[in-house]
Every structure is written in C-alpha cells, then in structure tokens.
Structure 1
Amino acid sequence: MTDSTEPKIAFIGAGSVVFTQGLLADLFSFPELTRARIALHDIDPERLATAEGAAQRIAATRGAEPTITAHLDRRAALADADFVINIIQVGMDEATRTDFHVPARYGLRQTIGDTLGIGGIFRALRTFPVLRGLAADMSELCPHALLLNYTNPMAMNVLYLSRIAPKLRVTGLCHSVYWTMHDLSELVGVPFEEVSYLAAGVNHQAWVLRFEQAGRDLYPLLDEAIAKDPGLLRRVRVDMYRRLGHYPTETSEHSSEYVPWYLHHDSEIERLRLPVGAYLDIIEENTASYERTRDALASGTELPVEGTLEYAPQIIHSVVTGTPRTIYGNVPNRGLIDNLPSDAAVEVPCLTDALGVQPTRIGALPPQLAALNRAYVSVNDLVVRAATDDDPRHIRHAAMTDPATAAALPVERIWELCDDLVRAHGELLQPGLRELLGT
C-alpha cells in the first residue's frame, strides 16, 4: 500500500460469524490495523447484523477504533477495498446435508465432503456462480485488491478464479499445514518455535518434505513416537505416512476421502476409526456457536473471542507494514512444483511483504506423492471445465475420475448419483449444468 488511508478490508460471507470474529480478533491484535475500515457483507440480514454487533464488541474489547460498516449489497462492501476475505458457503447447511444424504443412499461414504469426492464436486459447482460475480465486481470496483479465499473446495475455487479472472490477485488460505506442524512438534516433544519445516502439494493433501530442529531431521523422533503408541497406527494419516514416507498435512478424516483405500472397506473404517458423516455434527455445532454469539449480543453478556492465528490477518499486516513473513498459500502452479500440471492450484510456502504474496518454487515432489496429487488435480480440472465449458458431462467425468467415488460405485451408479445431486441442488447450479444425462 502506498497512500496513508487506513486499509479497507471487505468480508464476503461475514455471516460466518464465528470465523469472522476470530479473524477480526487477529486483525485488531496488530496496532497498525486497529483503525482499519471493515466492510461486512452477507445476504442474510440477521447474520449480517450479528456479525456487525460482534465486530463492534470485539473492537471495543481490544481497544481498537475501526470504521465498521455492514452491507447487504456486495458491491458497496467491495468499493475501493484493499483486501477481500471470502468466507461464503453457498446453500448453507441444507446444501451440505444434501451432499451427504443423497450419496449415502448409494452406499457412498464421506467424512467431511468439502474438498474432493462427490461432496467437494457439488460444493464447487454451487460456489462457482457466486465466485464469477465476485470476480466481476472486484475487477470493476477494486481491481488491485488481494482476494484471500477461505471457502472450500479450496483448490477448485482457486483454479476456477485463475481461469475466469487471471488478473485477479488470489491466494487461497488454509490452516492445515500450520496446525499439522504444531501438533507434530508436540508429538515429538520439540517446542514448535524451534521447528523448521517445508511442506508442499495440494490443499488438504500437501506433504511434510522437511521437519527439522536446528538442521536435525525430526522424522526419526516421529517414528519413535509412533512405535511407542500403537493407537497412532489407527489413524489414516499415520498409515499413509508409513507407506508413502512423508506425513500428510490434513486430518485423517479429510485424508481418507482423497484416496480409494479406506472408506469403501468396513474393516478399514473400523481399524482406522473413521467417523463417517462427521461433518454433519460439525455443522450442527457451527450453528449452535452462531446462536450463542447472537444471543450473547442480544443480552449484553460477555462475548469471549480468542485469536485464530489465521494467515489472512498476517498477510494484511505484512502488506500494510512491509513486515516479511512466510505463510502457506494456494496459488496457480506456474512452475512451482515440476511434476504437477502447470495451472493446477498448489499449496506452497509464500513470502508476504509490501509486495503481496510471492510463492516459493519447490521443484519436484517425490514421485509417489506427485502421483496422488495428480489424481486430485485431475478431478479439480474436470470440475472447473464443467463450469467454464458449460458442459454437464464433465461433472460425471470428474466423479468417475475421483478416487474414492470410483472405488465405491460402478460407473452407471456414478452417473445416476450425479443426476440426483443435480436435481437436488437445482437453481444453485449454473443453468447449463442442470441437464440430466441418465446413463
């Protein structure tokens, strides 16, 4: 940033109140951002009012003096923004339940359903029309703003935006690498502050390539910890680590959905303690958390909010102040990882400073890791092509290519399932993708 105006930060989907609160608490922890202009947007008036009230309360608690505005009109929130944080969920809980209940009738199991698999495919397809509108508005109203995307499916959304709006400055943000390394440090008994690490791959399926303390490889300590605790062997990510040689950066629940080996088999579900349908419980808790916030504001009771250590506030602070940091971001590949497609959305370390977000070149991943990532990004490519080419056949091609879906269902049933989900999501999909194709 070059002028003296306080930065304007637009929250798109601010009705995700609990997440908005955490991000604001992080932002206001930086003295340089306590007078920022915060523009909140949501299409739900009650949730928007709750987000505004929570923002005012957090600012007062933190001693911040921001300018806070609330907008049902997205364009008003975006006008002259310096940063845009995208946290939308198109279709909300009802659409998510559909993504679980309809496939379950076919015997298809999911745990989280927001990144890959049949749930990730249809979450993307109902999100893309909103992203297209957001990209068009930003291109007109704030073309130089940084778009910091938290909305899943992360890799599909970043890929879609890079294809429809290549000039937009987009970085996808996820906390999985940070918390994986935090937890691994605790597991091996080394203070997180003393750990150096390098991870790369794709969102929710990146890999810990280096795990060190002052140049010492910590993987042998991880092996010792696993040997001492047989319970760790009953986790998907530990099973994958032992077979692939590098630890995956997302939870076992997530990781099980991106490969064909686990959810299709009753014995593996039992051995690895996989909670089928876990996200349905999470969305109930998210709703309860929102209601607690809403009720606390209405009654004037205390609203405790802790910082989240998320990347978006750190990036904003780095750009505003020039403070250099390394974060993990999801960006178009463009030569960052040699053995993945050039336009795939990849997750790599990024330098952030006054110039923005600058990704780090990794080189080649170990071949077994790249092979799994290529299956993942092939699904992403077909889902995005379904939308950009307006071709409903590519929805079915993506589902056929998806490892977990293909392991569970014969091809005829995959096409029938796609038809049922197209019917169920209806007008949330772009018109050209609503066609039923049968088998």
Structure 2
Amino acid sequence: MATRFKIAIIGAGSVGFTKKLVTDILCVPELQDVEFALTDISERNLGMVRQIIERIVEVNRLPTVVTATVDRRAALDGARYVINCTRIGGLDAYRHDIEIPLKYGVDQCVGDTICAGGILYGQRNIPVVLDFCRDIREVAEPGAVFLNYANPMAMNTWAAIEYGMVHTIGLCHGVQNGWKQIANALGAASKTDVDIVCSGINHQTWYLDIRYQGRRIGKDELTAALEAHPVYGQQEKVRIDVLKRFGYYSTESNGHLSEYLPWYRKRPSEIMKWIDLSDWIHGETGGYLRYTTESRNWFETDFPQFLEEAARTIDPARRTDEHASWILEALETGRVYRGHFNVKNDGVITNLPADAIIESPGFIDRFGVNMISGITLPEACAATCQASINVQRMSVHAAVTGDVDLLKLAVLHDPLVGAICSPEEVWQMVDEMLVAQAEWLPQYADAVPAARRRLAEGRIATKAWSGAARQKVRTVEEVRIATAKKKEAMLGQRPGS
C-alpha cells in the first residue's frame, strides 16, 4: 500500500482556485490518502480556506489530512509536490501595474504576462519564486515537483528552472478554454469531439491543427464559424483578425492577446473598435484589476456560501480540466495524461530559442514529462512569440540581478509599450513604477533613491487618463445582481428553455 505523501499549496488563500485544485485531486482514489499543507501570508484567509477543505474531507469521509500554516518552510518540509498560486504584492502592488502605465498612454487589459505591467509583476514574483525553490531544494522530498500556476507564467517558470534549479512545470488553462470555444463555434457537443495540436509560448499558443470528427478544419472554415457565432463574433475581434492574417487561432482571450501585440491598443481612438465590454476579459481597460478587486470583496462577504458549497459530495464526473490533478495522477499511478505544459524548450519547438519557456503538447506518466519534439511554428506565429521571449529573457535576468538598465530595456522592447512610448517616457515610467512598488522589489533597493530624484525633476509630462474603456468597481450587491442576471440569460439560451 502506498504511503501518504504531502502536497503543499503556496498562496492557498486564493479560496476559489485552491478549492478547485483540492477537489480535483480528491476525485482520484489514489490521491485521497495525502496531506494538503496549505500556506499563505494571510492567516485570516488561510483559516477560512482550511475550513472549506476540511469540510470537503469530512463530508466525503476521506483519510486526507489538512494542515495550514504561515510558516512556508514547515509546509514544504517533506512535500512531494509544491503548487504555487501566489500573487506577490496582491492588489496593492498590482494596481500600479495598470494605473502608472496609463499615465504614459499604455492601456492594458490584464498586465500579467508581458507589457509594462507584466514585466513589473515578474520583478516582484521572481525573487520570491527563487525563495520557494531554495526551500524546495532544502526541505522538500528529494526530486519534488514544482507546479507553477502563478503569472507571469513564462518568467516565473524560466527563473525557477534556470536559477531555482528545481523540477518545474508551468501550468495554465488557456489551451483548454480556447479548445472549448472552438468546439462550440463548430457545433460540437463537447471539446472531446475536437482534436487539437497547440504550440507556442504561454498566452501566445497557436492551434496548429484542428480536427473535428477526424476532418481537418482550415482557416476559412474556422473564421466563418467564429464570425457567425452570436457571442464570439462580437467578443473576439482581435483573435479573429489575427486568425485571418496569420492563418492560426490564438489560445488567449481578446483582452490578453490585444496587449501582447503592437497593433490593436496603440491608438486610444481605435481601441473600442477591437474590444467588447460584455465581460472584462474581452479588452476592458484594467479589466482584470476590476475583476480581482470585486472577487476579493465577494470572498470577504460570502464566505458562509463557500463553506456551504463545500458540504457537497465529490463527483468525479465534475472534475475539471485543470492540469494539476491529472499530472499528479499520471506521476503516481502511471495512467498516461496528455496535456500542454510550460517547460524549457531545448529543441521541442525548432524555431524558438533553446532557453525559452514554451507551452506545447506532452505526455506524463511515472517517468515524468515527455514532450513532443520537432514542432515548427508558422513564421508569423514564431515571430510574435520571439518578440515576447526577448522581453521575458531580459525581464528574468533583470529580476535576478537587480539591473535597472536591463529592466528598462526589457520594457522598451515590449511590443505594445514600444508602439506607444518614446525611450525617455519608458525610462521615467519604469522609475515611477520602481518607486511606487519599492517595498516589493528588494533587489532594486539601491536604485530607488536615484529613481526618486529623477522623478522629482519631472522631465516628461504625464496625463491623468483612465484609459479607453475603464469601468467602475462594483459593490458586492451589484456583482450579485449582475451574476444572477447572467445566469438567467444563460438559462434562457438553453434549448427547450
């Protein structure tokens, strides 16, 4: 009989995602006699999440052990798997990623991958990720696997592999979400009716081959299906335009994709042409900041509802397509899992650099991750990925060394920032972000006083701009009403309703 092992979750205070991951894992019988070691910097949030997980275990009469501590090393001690769900600096830091670039004309929807916001997000995350890796090397089970869900995905995974020296797999659900969308547009009953090969880099992965009932779906057919769809035709204008020009569909939402490219958000007067305000993810200015702020408020006031939902019996049929549980199942049981994983390239994609973190198909079993090698991206897809990789590489190396000049060069080479800002504007914008986020950027401590002096000189004039499509943060009650209306509308769209 297998011995109990430990799964540590860092940033476990993210209640919804932690609950989903744990529930998925407990759907696998071989993964029920484990210890979940939850850790977070917020003792309050950690306590609430622990209550939810313990309720799940109790109701389902499982042998699972749940521990919770703010002592990260204690949580990681002896862990076989470590899952990272952190957001370093929280919303207090993240708002600067969105609001300071707006003063220089850079309008972002999410700002957690590249662009000015994503690069600074990486500067906050990477030193802490390396602390996690140090702890894993020192106190976790030998050969422990680090599953990184935290953004910026590629930068965090790159740092963990190159500098943290631990076995790391980066995970994201963009491929699955786009896969479902394609299946829906084609009229398939579920995504399992559609087969895909998807490859690229995280948040810029491309559906290279799509088969519906064994028949290959080309650019023209997919374009027609998406444009004819009553929802996607309005919400995915950037993705559809890229599909028409590149010949391949991107995994990422309209809002995400629009900020990785230099063409769709560079002129404020044109932004509304390419986005949709039916939901934040389709391009709203600072959309993810608003969404996460509202979600935090919802969590703080509706904890009893989350606890009540935790009392339901686990149903393996409702297991989600998040990678983590499937990876653990494959590694522990040998049951093969095919997914899309973020790993160091090393020749997997022939026309991207060897050191880059790529997202591509692979298989996992007891022997670990086995990637499908020899994939060559179409030239336009590779060029777009390469531009981001160059930014990611400089950003990672800057975060590790505290090199301000390299950090500014990374921001200067970002596709959207470069389409909008002059070098002088970039230099001042980065100074302003360093000063605003100094408490979360210890590697730049010696550089902050000089940045503050340069800001005092005020060479570059900025503007008070809320962006082309900023929406106000709603109250808990407003969110509740909007959610109810959305559910009602979805029910009304179902056949026979």
- So what's the TM-score if we normalise by structure 1? 0.94
8 Å contact from structure 2 (residues 438, 445) kept in 1 = no
Return 5+ residue gaps in structure 1 as ranges. Answer: none
In structure 2, the residue matched to 1:221 is 221
Please state how far the C-alpha of 1:47 moved relative to its aligned partner: 0.9
Deviates further, 264-273 or 135-144: 264-273
8 Å contact from structure 1 (residues 293, 303) kept in 2 = no
1-structure distance, mates of 2:47, 2:254: 36
Read off the aligned partner of 1:370 and give its amino acid letter: A
Among residues 249, 260, 267, which one is paired with 1:258 in the alignment?
A: 260
8 Å contact from structure 2 (residues 36, 67) kept in 1 = yes
1-structure distance, mates of 2:114, 2:233: 25
In structure 2, the residue matched to 1:126 is 124
2-structure distance, mates of 1:393, 1:173: 30
8 Å contact from structure 2 (residues 34, 64) kept in 1 = yes
Answer yes or no: is 1:14 the counterpart of 2:12: yes
Cα displacement string for residues 3-33 of structure 1 (whole angstroms, at most 9, x for unaligned residues): 8212310001101111100111111111211
Please state how far the C-alpha of 1:288 moved relative to its aligned partner: 2.9
Among residues 278, 294, 297, which one is paired with 1:288 in the alignment?
A: 297
In structure 1, the residue matched to 2:342 is 330
8 Å contact from structure 2 (residues 195, 212) kept in 1 = yes
Deviates further, 73-82 or 55-64: 55-64
Among residues 67, 88, 108, which one is paired with 1:110 in the alignment?
A: 108
Please state how far the C-alpha of 1:228 moved relative to its aligned partner: 3.2
Secondary structure at the residue paired with 2:62?
A: coil
Alignment CA distance shift 1:402-1:76 (3 Å): same
Fraction of identical pairs, as percent = 34
Among residues 170, 179, 182, which one is paired with 2:177 in the alignment?
A: 179
Please state how far the C-alpha of 1:324 moved relative to its aligned partner: 0.2
Please state how far the C-alpha of 1:242 moved relative to its aligned partner: 0.7
Please state how far the C-alpha of 1:226 moved relative to its aligned partner: 3.6
Read off the aligned partner of 1:269 and give its amino acid letter: I
Please state how far the C-alpha of 1:293 moved relative to its aligned partner: 5.2
In structure 2, the residue matched to 1:242 is 244
Among residues 64, 75, 78, which one is paired with 2:76 in the alignment?
A: 78
Root-mean-square deviation (Å): 1.9
Answer yes or no: is 1:340 the counterpart of 2:352: yes
Answer yes or no: is 1:349 the counterpart of 2:364: no
2-structure distance, mates of 1:99, 1:434: 21
Secondary structure at the residue paired with 1:82?
A: strand
Aligned length: 434
Alignment CA distance shift 1:227-1:40 (3 Å): closer
Deviates further, 212-221 or 23-32: 212-221
2-structure distance, mates of 1:106, 1:268: 17
Read off the aligned partner of 1:132 and give its amino acid letter: L
In structure 1, the residue matched to 2:233 is 232
Secondary structure at the residue paired with 2:79?
A: coil
2-structure distance, mates of 1:223, 1:296: 41
Alignment CA distance shift 1:241-1:434 (3 Å): farther
Cα displacement string for residues 255-281 of structure 1 (whole angstroms, at most 9, x for unaligned residues): 011010011123431211231111122
Among residues 378, 383, 388, which one is paired with 1:376 in the alignment?
A: 388
8 Å contact from structure 2 (residues 223, 240) kept in 1 = no
Alignment CA distance shift 1:245-1:73 (3 Å): same
2-structure distance, mates of 1:294, 1:213: 42
Alignment CA distance shift 1:228-1:293 (3 Å): closer
2-structure distance, mates of 1:196, 1:308: 18
8 Å contact from structure 2 (residues 126, 400) kept in 1 = no
In structure 2, the residue matched to 1:28 is 26
Read off the aligned partner of 2:182 and give its amino acid letter: L
8 Å contact from structure 1 (residues 392, 434) kept in 2 = no
8 Å contact from structure 2 (residues 53, 310) kept in 1 = no
Alignment CA distance shift 1:144-1:293 (3 Å): farther
Alignment CA distance shift 1:434-1:290 (3 Å): farther
Read off the aligned partner of 2:23 and give its amino acid letter: A
**Pairing 1:158-173 to 2, within 5 Å after superposition:** 158-166=157-165, 168-173=166-171
Secondary structure at the residue paired with 1:341?
A: coil
Among residues 362, 365, 369, which one is paired with 2:377 in the alignment?
A: 365
Read off the aligned partner of 2:90 and give its amino acid letter: M
In structure 1, the residue matched to 2:400 is 388
In structure 1, the residue matched to 2:489 is none
Read off the aligned partner of 1:285 and give its amino acid letter: E
Please state how far the C-alpha of 1:95 moved relative to its aligned partner: 0.8
Cα displacement string for residues 23-71 of structure 1 (whole angstroms, at most 9, x for unaligned residues): 1111111121122111001111101111111111122344433011111
8 Å contact from structure 1 (residues 35, 66) kept in 2 = yes
Deviates further, 144-153 or 5-14: 5-14
Cα displacement string for residues 102-145 of structure 1 (whole angstroms, at most 9, x for unaligned residues): 11122211100111101101111011111111111101112411
2-structure distance, mates of 1:366, 1:26: 35
Deviates further, 146-155 or 302-311: 302-311
8 Å contact from structure 1 (residues 159, 345) kept in 2 = yes
In structure 2, the residue matched to 1:277 is 286
8 Å contact from structure 2 (residues 7, 80) kept in 1 = yes
2-structure distance, mates of 1:409, 1:337: 32
Please state how far the C-alpha of 1:434 moved relative to its aligned partner: 5.2
Read off the aligned partner of 1:240 and give its amino acid letter: V
Read off the aligned partner of 1:265 and give its amino acid letter: R
Secondary structure at the residue paired with 2:355?
A: coil
8 Å contact from structure 1 (residues 28, 62) kept in 2 = no
